[in-house]
Amino acid sequence: MEPPTVPTYALAAGDAGTPVLRAGERFRLVVEPEGIVTGAVAARGFLVRGDEVQAWDPPFTVDRDGSIRLDGPVETLFAGVPPGPWDVAVAVGRPETLPTAPRDVLRARDAGAGDAAWRLVREHVVLGG
């Protein structure tokens, strides 16, 4: 049986500042565990602006150490998303416990951490520009 909790997760170190994402560029995101991951983990994406939450289904990959990676063309990953500022929010945790309801994502954002079975990591981006 898998443990019910996952360690905290954080964005891998990157450039300082808010990235501006434009068509023709690539968006890369790496979310790393801050401890040892035991058992299966998965990721579910959301785009958040204020109290607006959109489900977002990019092709995440999960490394053996539990790191979550996303890499793809901006125009593909963000197709149909209105330009402007967004928080890319990634819920990482046990596949069966990942949030699906916008209120769960907002609650985790406002609390600063997800439930023990999943964690929320965010990166602020600007689409277009």
- Chain centre distance of CA 110: 15
Please report the pLDDT score of residue 125 as a whole number: 95
Q: Where are the domains of the chain?
A: 9-127
Q: What is the mean pLDDT of each run of 10 residues along the chain (129 residues)?
A: 80 79 95 92 96 94 96 96 96 92 86 72 90
| 127 Rama sector, left if φ>0, alpha if ψ -120 to 50, beta otherwise | beta
Q: Does domain 9-127 have CATH number 2.40.50?
A: no
Report the run of H or E that residue 104 belongs to, with start and end.
Answer: helix 102-111
The encoded tokens of residue 118 equal 């999943």
According to DSSP, residue 18 is labeled P
Strand partners, 23: none
Single pTM value for the model: 0.91
Distance in angstroms (rounded) separating the CA atoms of residues 51 and 66 = 29
